Amino acid sequence: MEYTGAIFDMDGVLFDTEKVYQQTWHEIAAELKVTLGDGFLADISGSSGVHMNQVIEAYFQVPDGAGIARECMDRVRKKLSVHVPMKEGVREILELFRQKGMPVAVASSSLSQQIEANLKNAGIDGFFSEIVSGTEVEHGKPAPDIFLRAAKRIGCKAEQCFVFEDSENGVKAGYAAGCATIMVPDLIEPSPQIRQYCARICASLVEAREEVCRMMGK
């Protein structure tokens, strides 16, 4: 297989921000006197749009999850304006794709303003030619829409793109898009069911870089 592009999820892959989101979801739940069930982490991670709202409605027991989603995003944006912790191996794997002349995109459920701010604050915005937010597609992860759009935007066929994801919703989206999906687990260990959708499962982006080199035969 000839690989021509790469697409990265942001939270939990490029940045150690998924913990910030989870803390914020639970802050809001406590204020509303709601106890989030054990399945919330897996169900909400990597989701966006209608699917995210449905998860919020089920766990927060509200008729419309959009308001809680906006409140969470606003609070997280303020927290990340102070510091955005970057994951190990980010610069090295991005530099690999730059050296090979492969275009790179971010495809994240976060708002585009948050994506841009995080990349700029971390000093890695120059590595990315395109940014695609979950707000730009009709169906959020686990639907493939966001990765199909990202692949098109960087001028690549989806099946010739690497996708890097940490959540099961994201992995399912990458697989459904036909991409070579590499899972780099963050807060949730991969379930036996999700392994069938992964081209590789790596402990970090350092390991993922090595696997990418092997997959490209170089």
DSSP 141: T
DSSP 189: P
Token output for 12: 């939990």
What spatial distance separates the first Cα and last Cα of the chain, rounded to whole Å? 12
Please count the helices (runs of H) and the strands (runs of E) in the chain: 9, 6
Can you tell me the distance from the alpha carbon of 41 to that of 46, in angstroms, rounded to the nearest whole number? 10
Can you tell me the distance from the alpha carbon of 145 to that of 153, in angstroms, rounded to the nearest whole number? 12
11 annotated active-site: yes
64 annotated active-site: no
Can you tell me the distance from the alpha carbon of 10 to that of 16, in angstroms, rounded to the nearest whole number? 9
Token output for 130: 């395109």
Task: Select from 198, 208, 191 the least CA-distant residue to 13.
Answer: 208
Strand 130-133 vs strand 104-108: parallel, antiparallel, or unpaired?
A: parallel
Of 11, 43, 166, 186, which residue is the catalytic one?
A: 11
Of 9, 145, 166, 186, which residue is the catalytic one?
A: 9
Which of the residues are catalytic? Answer: 9, 11
